[in-house]
């Protein structure tokens, strides 16, 4: 009989943000794999769940994966949780999943995620975006990641620690410009939750002048390459904005310009966001 590995989403702050199904799965598990036994114990104690916790994090997942896979092949039920949110998204878990080879069941138990929480209240359009997780700690690779994001012309979602956020924002400004719009999501669902949007240079100034705490999610607005011809349309776009949708404005502008429709759409969006 195949065992089952449940990928269980747990609260990112408020302990009430857990699903009934997640609690049921944790209660029936033989073991619970957790990044931190201390943080997971707090959640289990809140709901009177008494289960053995096995620490499973980025420092030991490669070393422990074989013994855990052995348990799963023997038919055990194991739940994987991260410190907060949905496992395997910039958190440990992938080493187990990629080595499944149809030997055990892998079942997602959806729930809280700082990624989807930020996306759901974003003032920056995010129907199409690039998720980068935690950026590289190496300066050269960090710069290349931001350059690559800029070249996509899409919004980017990243996770960052309070210790590095100023450095990362500085690089974003150097590469994408200080007027790029950014959303900051800090301590989501917790007592001191903070969500705000502004230009990159204003956010950098604010964070430099105030103490930063908690984990941070950033949504970086798309970089728009503005050529001379697009700039000449700015005044016309401002006149049209109050009475027409973005698509309608683009359709109107294409009647008297040969600029690529995709570039027009991005530029109209950027002008609208400034208003």
pLDDT tens across 141-199, in order?
A: 999 999 999 888 899 999 999 899 999 999 999 999 898 999 999 999 998 899 999 99
Instruction: Taking residues 242-271, report their average pLDDT.
Output: 84
Choose one of 93, 112, 131: the last residue of a domain.
112
3-state helix/strand/coil string of 10-58? ECCCCCCCCCHHHHHHHHHCCEEEECCHHHHHHHHHHCCCCCCEEECCC
Which pLDDT does position 235 carry in this prediction?
87
Residue 53 and residue 68 share a domain? yes
Q: Tell me how far CA of residue 189 lies from CA of 42, 56, 119, 192, 215, in angstroms.
A: 17, 25, 14, 8, 12
Residue 144 and residue 121 share a domain? yes
**Token couple for 99:** 């080595």
Residue 253 and residue 202 share a domain? no
Give 270 or 63, the one with higher predicted confidence.
Answer: 63
Residue 94 and residue 9 share a domain? yes
Please report, for the domain that includes residue 138, its CATH number: 3.30.950.10
DSSP H helical ranges for the chain: 20-28, 37-46, 61-73, 94-98, 114-120, 139-152, 165-176, 200-209, 228-231, 234-240, 246-253, 261-274
> How many distinct structural domains can be found in the chain?
3
Which pLDDT does position 208 carry in this prediction?
87
Choose one of 112, 141, 156: the last residue of a domain.
112
Residue 144 and residue 70 share a domain? no
Which pLDDT does position 71 carry in this prediction?
95
Report residue 94's pLDDT band, with 50, 70 and 90 as the boundaries. confident
Residue 240 and residue 192 share a domain? no
pLDDT digits (tens, 9 = 90+) for 27-66: 999 999 999 999 999 999 999 999 999 999 988 988 999 9
Residue 161 and residue 95 share a domain? no
Q: Tell me how far CA of residue 145 lies from CA of 67, 173, 182, in angstroms.
A: 35, 13, 17
Instruction: Tell whether the torsion through CA atoms of 260, 261, 262 and 263 is positive or negative.
Output: positive
At residue 89, does pLDDT exceed 80? yes
Please report, for the domain that includes residue 67, its CATH number: 3.40.1010.10
The residue segments making up the domain with residue 19 are 4-112
Instruction: Taking residues 67-84, report their average pLDDT.
Output: 95
Mean pLDDT, rounded, of the chain? 91
Residue 134 and residue 82 share a domain? no
Choose one of 91, 112, 133: the last residue of a domain.
112
Instruction: Taking residues 233-254, report their average pLDDT.
Output: 89
Residue 236 and residue 152 share a domain? no
């Amino acid at each position: 009989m195949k065992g089952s590995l449940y990928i269980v989403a747990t609260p990112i702050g408020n302990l009430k943000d857990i699903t009934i199904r997640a609690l049921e799965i944790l209660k029936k598990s033989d073991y619970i794999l957790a990044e931190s036994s201390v943080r997971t114990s707090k959640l289990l104690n809140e709901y009177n769940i008494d289960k053995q916790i096995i620490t499973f994090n980025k420092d030991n997942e490669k070393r422990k994966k074989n013994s855990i896979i052995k348990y799963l092949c023997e038919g055990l039920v194991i739940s994987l949780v991260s410190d907060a949110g949905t496992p395997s998204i910039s958190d440990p878990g992938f080493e187990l999943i990629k080595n499944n080879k149809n030997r055990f069941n892998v079942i997602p138990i959806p729930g809280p995620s700082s990624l989807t929480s930020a996306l759901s209240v974003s003032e920056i359009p995010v129907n199409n975006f690039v998720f980068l997780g935690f950026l590289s700690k190496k300066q050269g690779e960090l710069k290349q990641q931001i350059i690559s994001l800029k070249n996509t012309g899409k919004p980017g979602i990243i996770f960052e620690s309070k210790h590095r956020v100023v450095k990362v924002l500085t690089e974003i400004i150097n590469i994408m410009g200080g007027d790029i719009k950014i959303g900051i999501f800090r301590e989501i669902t917790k007592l001191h939750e903070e969500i705000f949007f502004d230009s990159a240079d204003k956010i950098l100034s604010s964070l430099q002048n105030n103490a930063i705490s908690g984990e941070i999610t950033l949504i970086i607005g798309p970089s728009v390459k503005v050529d001379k011809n697009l700039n000449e349309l700015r005044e016309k776009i401002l006149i049209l904005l109050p009475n027409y949708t973005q698509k309608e404005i683009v359709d109107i502008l294409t009647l008297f310009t040969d600029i690529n429709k995709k570039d027009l759409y991005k530029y109209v969006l950027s002008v609208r966001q400034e208003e």
